[in-house]
Amino acid sequence: MALVAIASCAGLNPFVAVVMLGVAAGAGRGPEVGSQLAFATEWPFLIPMLLLLGVDIVIDKLPTTAGLWARPALLVRVLAGGLVGGMLGEASLGMAMAMAVGAVVALLAGGMRWIAVRRLGRRFYGLERFMVGASTDAMAVLAMLLSLFSAVAGLLLVAAFAGLGAYFSGRSSAGPAAD
């Protein structure tokens, strides 16, 4: 359950998921990470991820740079989903299967995020990227914190976010109500 919740967070903001899981596991407060992926819990890996988190938070919200960042960010989301999947599911599913599940879940969450940006673009005239980006960054942080303490609660929160996203996405595609 934690794998699905945290991989979903990687689809929303890959750097938040990797950094928070790496710090928690490295401090002994998170899941046990196997020796093959232990590099993701060490500071020489986490410091550049923190710097990229800062870059992502800014560059993802600006209309001029967001278009350039969209395709590489999707690849980073999938890779981060695979990494956190491998970190969480190595013991239970095997590393290859856990990485594949994490990558697919992150791709689905990132795809839902992309659809929300596209659909809201018809109504918010350029602010949709900022609105969706800021809210999904906050959702990723909240869901990661909750998932590290309780996998079930984290999964429920991610499912609630997905349900709200689907609801609002459906409402925004229907168009404005007639007067």
| Amino acid at the residue 164 | L
| Of 40 and 123, more confident | 40
Q: Is a pLDDT exceeding 70 seen at residue 71?
A: yes
pTM above 0.95, yes or no: no
For residues 9-38, give the mean pLDDT: 89
The secondary structure element, H or E, covering residue 78 is helix 63-89
* Residue 168 counted as domain residue: no
Q: How far apart are CA 47 and CA 152, in angstroms?
A: 29
* Residue 151 counted as domain residue: yes
Number of domains in the chain: 1
Note down the domain range covering 14: 2-158
> Percent of the chain scored above 70 by pLDDT?
87
Q: Is a pLDDT exceeding 70 seen at residue 178?
A: no
| Amino acid at the residue 57 | I
> Percent of the chain scored above 90 by pLDDT?
27
* Residue 15 counted as domain residue: yes
- With a CB cutoff of 8 Å and minimum separation 6, the contacts of 171 are none
| Selection from 75, 83, 88 nearest residue 32 by Cα | 88
**Contact between 112 and 162 (Cβ < 8 Å):** yes
Give helix then strand counts, H and E, for the chain: 7, 0
Minimum mean pLDDT range among 15-24, 74-83, 131-140: 131-140
Question: Where residue 173 falls among pLDDT bands split at 50, 70, 90?
Answer: low
- With a CB cutoff of 8 Å and minimum separation 6, the contacts of 76 are 14, 15
* Residue 171 counted as domain residue: no
pLDDT of residue 30: 79
pLDDT of residue 169: 67
Q: How far apart are CA 69 and CA 28, in angstroms?
A: 34
